[in-house]
Each structure stands twice: as C-alpha cells, then as structure tokens.
Amino acid sequence: MESVRKDTMLKFNPDSLEEVRKELNLEKPGRIDEAIDILDSWVKKQPHFMKKDFARDYLERILITAKGLVERAKERLDKLCTFKTLMPEFFNVSDDIKKEMEPLQELM
C-alpha cells in the first residue's frame, strides 16, 4: 500500500489514502495511476502553463479534491495555472514574509 507523504502540518491515519480512494472509486489497481497519467500528459500539452512538472502526489490531491473526476481536475489545474500567470504577486512569497514565518517553522 502506498502512503501519504509526511507533512509537518497535516497528520494522516495510515489507512486514510486507502479510504479516500475507495470512496472515489479509485481503489482498483492501476486506476489512480491511469488518472494521474491522463492529468500529467494533459498538463504537458498546455501551452499556457508556466509550470508543467507537477509531482504525482500533487496531481493525486487535485484529483481527490475534484472527487475523482479527471475533467474537473483539469478545470481546477487550468484555473490555478491561469491565476498564477495573471496574478503572480499573490503566489510569490516575499523575503519579508519568509522572515516572519521562520519562528513558526521552528515550532513545527
């Protein structure tokens, strides 16, 4: 069984990934990989995307938030990448903000 990548802010039960996949009908062997491959190849074909090398676990999270629907996941990725291109100031983290966040990082 695959596992959810460890995160300092979010904690998951060991069977969380399996339960979510089951609920979204993605538990069959190869089904999640097939859906992620479809998303990945679609991303690479989009000329207006500045970033085209999304991690597979990120694409899986997008797919999960889209309730397992590939077309809905494509729409979400398209909107996100379009907003990042049109309004980069909302997505770039400044040095001032990084300095303010350092004490919080140490707590985690």
51-69 pLDDT, tens digit each: 889 999 899 889 988 998 9
Domain edges within the chain: 16-107
**pLDDT at 64 (0 to 100):** 87
The model's pLDDT over 10-53, given as tens digits with 9 standing for 90+, comes to 676 768 778 888 888 887 888 889 999 999 999 999 998 888 89
Contacts 24+ apart (CB under 8 A), 39-45: 39/63, 39/70, 39/73, 39/74, 39/77, 42/74, 43/77
